[in-house]
Structure formats: structure tokens, C-alpha cells
Amino acid sequence: MEILEKSISGFPAFALYFVISLGLLALFLAVYLRVTPYREIALIREGNVAAALSLAGTTLGFVIPLARAIAQSGSLPDMLLWGAIAFIVQLLVYLVVARLLPDIGKHIAEGKLAHATTLAVLSLASGILNAACMTY
């Protein structure tokens, strides 16, 4: 019984971090979906693989450093700060890729996988690097 009590004692912190991280993810997606010139959700509902791929890569590019921030943070404000940094990095990645590939929104909306794959891979790569740099 003591082992179970000890194990479950961390549940409130888990629940708090989990709910807040889901809130950050929802906020990130809401902002990201407004920044892009195409409507990912509508395109995904229509079966557009390019839109799904680019959104998946960007989502993972945000979640990977967010997970690192959760695992390494010493407090909730610390996690929120590093989560915000991950948020900003992913938005910047999209803006840089959109500059390098000016018609990316049009091409993803048309289902062109080359553009979506480029965005997804660069989002993932920057997310992994972002997480690796969070070694404070």
C-alpha cells in the first residue's frame, strides 16, 4: 500500500503539467493554423496528404521540445517559458520556409508532397535541435 501511495503522490503534478501542455498545444495549433495561408483542417478532411504531413511535422516539431521542457523544468513557470520558446521557434521555421518557398501555401493546398515534406522535415529538425539545446 505504501508503494502505491508513493507512486500516486506525483499524480497531481502530472495532471497539472499534462493539462497545461495540452493547452499549449491547442494554443500553438490555433495560432499556427491562422498564420498559414491555407486551411489545413479543411484540406485534411478532403484527404489532402500534403496538408496532413506538414501539420504533423510542425506539431511534432513543437511537441518534442515541449516534452523536453516538461521533463527538465524545475517549475511550472520554467516549463511555460521554454514552451513559449518552442512555440516561437516553430512559427519562425514556418516563416523562413515560406520565404524560401514563396508558393508553399498554394502547393500544399494542391497536395504537392515535396513542399509539405520540406516543411515537415525542417519543423521536426528544428524541434529536435531546440530540445537538444534545452540542456540547462
CB 22 within 8 A of CB 35: no
- For the record, the C-alpha cell of 109 comes out as 493546398
Note the pLDDT of residue 5.
Answer: 76
Nearest 5°: the CA angle 28, 29, 30 is 90
Note the pLDDT of residue 136.
Answer: 63
Of 2 and 114, the one with more pLDDT = 114
Q: DSSP letters along 102-134, please?
A: TTHHHHHHTT-HHHHHHHHHHHHHHHHHHHHH-
pLDDT at 115 over 90: yes
Q: How many domains in the chain?
A: 1
| Cα–Cα distances in angstroms (integers) from residue 50 to residues 47, 54, 82, 110, in the given order | 9, 6, 29, 8
Note the pLDDT of residue 7.
Answer: 75
The whole domain housing 30 covers 2-133
Distance in angstroms (rounded) separating the CA atoms of residues 1 and 72 = 29
- Kindly report, residue by residue over 82-105, the tens digit of the pLDDT: 999 999 999 999 999 999 999 999
Amino acid identity of residue 126, one-letter, is: S
CB atoms within 10 A of CB 55: 23
